Chain A
Amino acid sequence: MRLPTLLLILAAIVLAAFFLGRQRALSLARPAGGVRSLHSLPKYYGYYASLGAVVPGIALLLMWAAFSDSLITSRVVASLPEALRNQPEAQLSLTLNDIRNLAAGQMQDESRSAEFAVAADLYNSLRDSSRKVLAGLVIALSFSGFALAWLQLRPQFRARNRVEAVVRFMLVLASLLAIVTTIGILLSVSFEALRFFRQVPVGEFLFGLSWSPQTAIRADQVGSSGAFGAVPLFVGTLLISGIALLVAVPIGLMIAIYLSEYARPRLRRIVKPVLEVLAGIPTVVYGYFAALTVAPIIRLAGQQLGLEVASEAALGAGLVMGIMIIPFVSSLSDDAINAVPQAMRDGSFALGATRSETIKRVVLPAALPGIVGGVLLAASRAIGETMIVVMAAGLSANLSFNPLESVTTVTVQIVTLLVGDQEFDSPKTLAAFALGLMLFIVTLILNVIALQVVRRYREQYE
């Protein structure tokens, strides 16, 4: 039975359970003196019956979705002949992939040995029988869950409280999802990163000066032993984000100052959303813009000045990234500046200061923590930005601070290491997770500090 059919049947059972439960409550109430003798409204008895039908079925369905594939796979592996079963892990997963493709009918490769066909047949039959068993179990569980709920129904049964407790539990589960996501990121990324650090020492990764992740495919190949010193990547990331911040902080800050201190409300009402559009443009568009328009202009300008400019210079990617984060800096600074009490400005004016002196000497120092928080958030944004650098920055890991040279970043390397064919135990693939872990930790620290600074600052003036 296909999954959609099963879900439809389940939905029908749940709907029926609702009406039966409500009916049951009404008929129980009739001899006891009408609807008023019920503890809850009749529909709550219906809800309770449907919950009884749906909860066990869905729980089983989720468990099946999580574990059935690995169970079936292990059975298939156990059935494989000795020679295939004792392959190294990477080979085994390739074999399993072939078997899955064969089972799905996506591969008509007749040259495969008969063992594969047998395994594929086993895979298919296991899948079919597991689907059948699942469908039977889910329907049986729904019915028995409904029956249990039905038997509990009495006029004095506190159906509303029960239903509300279940709903409340589901609300709690939903709010925990954020924590589960964070834990999931941490666990999954650090698990793979640990496997990487078992092959490459942490010290070499953090302080090594050379990065060339192309490991030898055959043992006798020369020159591609793989080096995993990530310092060039960190330097490249810092260089490009630094350029971006150099562009975005002055411009964004001045925009915020002008719009909140000088501009008339009408101008502010028009310009502010227009600039917000910059933040809504997808990063892939910025990347395309950087690669197609900005990089050639920079190269041309460099030639005019007699400078040697790499075709994927850090400057281009940094400039465009700077444009992208202008609205971040400006809107967060705007908040900070607006939070400064008017009385402080008035005091400064009363002493005879001009507007710009008031801004520079009074408003900015008072708003500084908020502005710093905004800049930190923008920096974390710049460090984690992917598409612009993938499209406009280089791939070669040069250890250089020259903005006219081509450098690579952490995110670019994650993408290049993981796009395309992967083997899940080569250090090349695992290195991407180690880089991801670094990225996560660094941005986490920046975010936590920034959010703390912003929050504490906001409280100060409230």
Chain B
Amino acid sequence: MRANDGDDDRARRQLSPEETRRRVDASLRRRYRSEQLFRLYGLGSVCLGVVFLLVLFGTIIGSGYSAFRQGFVRLDVHFDADLIDPDGGRDLDVLSAADYSLLVKAALRELVPEVASRAEKRELNGLVSSGAVFELRDTVMADAQILGQTRSLWLPLSGDVDLWIKARSAGKSGEDMGGKLSANQRAWLERLQADDRIELRFNRTFFTSGDSREPELAGIWGATKGSFFMLLVTLLLSFPLGVAAAIYLEEFARRSWWVDIVEVNINNLAAVPSIVFGLLGLAVFINFFGLPRSAPLVGGLVLTLMTLPVVIIASRAAIKAVPPSVREAALGIGASQMQMVFHHVLPLALPGMLTGAIIGMARALGESAPLLMIGMVAFIVDVPGGPMSPSTALPVQIYLWADSPERAFVARTSAAIMVLLAFLLVMNASAVWLRSRFERRW
């Protein structure tokens, strides 16, 4: 019956060869067009991904490169001994407590003598950063001989002035960038510029100081050190623990439901949202064990728990890659299982494990959500001295600056991101180098 039906069917659909060819040609054209289209979609998606990356980097570099330079003004500061040290005792306490802003004000007034009203004076004094005072103080503290002399010094300009100067030197009118500057201030600045008293110089403060409310005084050194201490704790804990866990799971554990649970757990922990680790850190390390908030030690512990699965998974892969013949040879000449693992398998697997650890560290360096939970978002000016002193971390510093309303922080945020990305690049590149240098094909 069935065969007959099929025959009938074919007979009914019998087409002339020409008609068949015509139909096939028509459909072929359609099919090839859709093939082309599909291929284009694919290429387009790839291009889109690359374009996203370029736009991201372009925006960050475009808005951030200017923060590596900072506007300075050359002032002829007269270190008036009567103002700074009226007793002449050169006592360090007196020197450090003196009001150095008077010196800056006097030097400014010398350059712009026509300033009379109180409001104008305030405008004039607002040109120079409040950090200039500390610089003068440090100069005097370092060498009290300078009192009574006049020196020509480069002092930092305030954040808004800095923006205005950068906009002008970039060829823009400066109108939109200097919205906060008064007409007076602009006139004075133009005069100072004509006198060659204003210069953009390398922004050392940005790399050497901690956070500050004043953009021109804010730097990333404090956050960098905080991140360093945190990563140190993370590396010291997660690498040995991760390697040990991987060794047990690969070399010693026998297949059982228990090992299955551990495995599922590790894979799952690698995908748990990072903020949940922050909640764990808050509840356990801070509330239960009473460790201090904002300490890199706690941050490092939380990040250890986060990176541990990454290290374990990478280390297991590295151990798996060591061929069984190595193990059999070691056991064959009388090594115990432990000796076989520690003398033969581990050295061969070490490069792979290190690669995994570096990649885990790079992830930990960029992580900020769990650190928000354990109080590392505080405004901390001091550069941390150790893993117990309050500090923040690089990504958290970026978050804090991105949130601050001052426009001068925009460039600094981008610059901090560039520094963070540079660190990540170095870490990942060294992981790739390590892998290509020591990888062995068996």
Question: Which residues of A are in contact with B by a Cβ distance under 8 Å?
Answer: 65-66, 69-70, 73, 160, 164, 167-168, 170-172, 174-179, 181-182, 184-185, 188-189, 191-192, 250-252, 254-255, 257-259, 261-263, 271, 274-275, 277-278, 280-289, 291-293, 323, 326, 330, 354-357, 359-360, 377, 380-381, 383-387, 390-391, 411, 414-415, 418-419, 424, 432-433, 436, 439-440, 443-444, 447-448, 451
Contacts and interface: CB of A to CB of B under 8 A. Distances in A.
21 contacts: A175-B244, A178-B312, A181-B308, A188-B279, A251-B45, A254-B46, A255-B45, A257-B42, A262-B43, A263-B46, A275-B53, A282-B420, A283-B366, A285-B417, A289-B59, A381-B271, A384-B275, A390-B372, A411-B369, A418-B282, A443-B276
B49 A275 contact: yes
Looking at B50, B272, B362, B403, which has the most chain A CB atoms within 10 Å of its CB? B272
Contact of B245 (A178, A278, A282, A411): A178
A243 B245 CA distance: 39
Interface stretch (B32-40, B113-121, B205-213, B348-356): B32-40
Contacts of B279: 185, 188-189, 414, 418, 432-433, 436
B226 interface: no
Interface stretch (B81-89, B132-140, B182-190, B284-292): B284-292
B395 interface: yes
B273 A439 contact: yes
B42 A262 contact: yes
A433 B241 contact: no
A281 B366 contact: yes
B252 interface: yes
B117 to A, nearest CB: 39
Looking at B41, B280, B288, which has the most chain A CB atoms within 10 Å of its CB? B280
Given A188-B284, A433-B279, A380 B245 contact: no
A459 B252 CA distance: 24
Interface residues of B, number: 86
A29 B31 CA distance: 86
Nearest to B282: A418
Contact of A191 (B283, B365, B367, B413): B283
Given A254-B41, A262-B42, A440-B276, A179 B49 contact: no
Nearest to B417: A285
Contacts of A381: 271, 273
Contacts of A178: 245, 262, 265-266, 269, 308-309, 312
A292 to B, nearest CB: 7
A444 B272 contact: yes
Contacts, number: 255
B249 interface: yes
B267 A255 contact: no
Looking at A160, A288, A292, which has the most chain B CB atoms within 10 Å of its CB? A288
A357 B128 CA distance: 69
Given A181-B280, A191-B283, 10 more contacts: A189-B283, A258-B43, A258-B45, A280-B362, A288-B398, A288-B402, A326-B52, A354-B31, A418-B282, A424-B287
Contacts of A69: 289-290
Contact of A164 (B56, B244, B336): B336
A357 B39 CA distance: 11
A287 B42 contact: no
A433 B275 CA distance: 11
What 3 pairs across the A-B complex have the smallest Cβ distances?
A384-B273, A258-B42, A282-B366
Contacts of A390: 369, 372, 399
B268 interface: yes
B96 interface: no
Interface string B45-73: 11011101100100110010000000000
B58 to A, nearest CB: 10
A77 B34 CA distance: 78
A286 B309 CA distance: 24
B424 A177 contact: no
B264 A291 contact: no
B408 interface: no
Contacts of A278: 49, 52-53
Looking at A177, A250, A380, which has the most chain B CB atoms within 10 Å of its CB? A177
Contacts of B288: 188
A164 B252 CA distance: 12
Contacts of A411: 273, 275, 369
B410 interface: yes
A280 B42 contact: no
Interface string B369-405: 1001100010000000000000000011011001100
A182 B271 contact: no
B333 interface: no
B252 to A, nearest CB: 6
A386 B291 CA distance: 25
Given A175-B245, A287-B399, A292-B410, A387 B369 contact: yes
Contacts of B92: none
Contact of A65 (B247, B289, B403): B289
B412 to A, nearest CB: 12
Looking at B46, B50, B288, B373, which has the most chain A CB atoms within 10 Å of its CB? B46
